[in-house]
Homo-oligomer: A and B are copies of this chain.
Amino acid sequence: MAENAIGSEGLLFLTDEQLRKGIEAMFFAYRGFTADPDRILDTMDYGRAHHRAVHFINRNPGLTVSQLLAILGVTKQSLNRVLRTLFEDGLVEAKVGRTDKRERRLHLTEKGAALERLLSDAQRARMRAAYRAAGPQAVQGFRTVLEAMMDPEMRRQYQGLKETEA
């Protein structure tokens, strides 16, 4: 057996075909990843954008609009359209910042938390099934590769937001 693709460093996994397979895996898996919450959202007047906002507000209660903006990577006009409906529907509330009164610190209401739970239960169920099927070793690798795939800035967001005022 020649050492064509494998080479001396055992780099079979860097083959063009391997990389393309990885690309397609991301594509198809992301579809599965969003499928369950999307189905739920479709029955309401919300979309994936609302889900994202609710998710990150839940994960970082009290974050400011600009922090959320940075996480989501969209324009404030785009985010505002979403936030407005969440306010109007009483899913999210904003508290004026203690130290800086210009800031609006975002929190889920009980109603908002309920929606978050509904969506994230669905999404976590699939995640859990995938994790269980793949095993802890694979999960470790999964997280490692995903992390390496992020933009450095996003990796920082992922690894933990700066301390947020409660």
List residues of A whose CB falls within 8 A of some B CB.
Answer: 10, 12-14, 16, 18-33, 35, 52, 55, 59, 73, 120, 123-124, 126-151, 154-155, 157-158
Contacts and interface: CB of A to CB of B under 8 A. Distances in A.
A144 B142 contact: yes
Specify how many copies of this chain sit in the oligomer.
Answer: 2
Contacts of A132: 14
Contact of A120 (B20, B30, B149): B20
B149 A20 contact: no
A35 B130 CA distance: 26
Contacts of A131: 13-14, 18-19, 22, 145, 148
A25 B127 contact: no
Nearest to A129: B148
